[in-house]
Amino acid sequence: MKIKAKDNVIVISGKDKGKKGKVLRAIPAEDKIVIEGVNVRKKHKKANRKGLRGEIIEFATPIHVSNVMIEDPKTKKPSRVGYKTVNDKKIRIAKKSDSEI
């Protein structure tokens, strides 16, 4: 999986198409990622016996990695991820502007 945690990504398909966000968590076993503010769900939590009130909790759920593209650092547009070897070290680059991610 070419997208890692803390990357800035743009959603390219689905109900949140066009939204930008930071990857909070990557789940490589399922090819999914959790993005801040994207694919938000609501969960209704029941009040417990101690007198606390019930509440509605909003949380981001995983989205498939094929529905997002990395945000190019220079152009701020969606780009594919490539790799380049510099000083015997493999680094990730944005294909659109050939800049390091």
pLDDT digits (tens, 9 = 90+) for 44-90: 998 887 778 889 999 999 999 999 999 999 999 999 999 999 999 99
* Residue-level pLDDT at 48: 83
Q: Is residue 42 part of a domain?
A: yes
| Dihedral angle computed from the Cα positions of residues 48, 49, 54 and 58, in that order, rounded to the nearest 10 degrees | -20
* Residue-level pLDDT at 51: 77
CATH number, residue 53: 2.30.30.30
> What total of structural domains would you count in the chain?
1
Q: CA-CA distance, 81 to 71, in Å (whole number)?
A: 10
With CA atoms as reference, report the closest residue to 10 among 64, 61, 68: 68
> What is the arrangement of strands in the sheet containing 8-11, beginning at the earlier edge strand?
63-64, 32-35, 20-27, 8-11, 68-71, 78-79
In this structure, the chain runs to a length of 101
- Beta bridge partners, 81, equal 94
Q: Is residue 83 part of a domain?
A: no
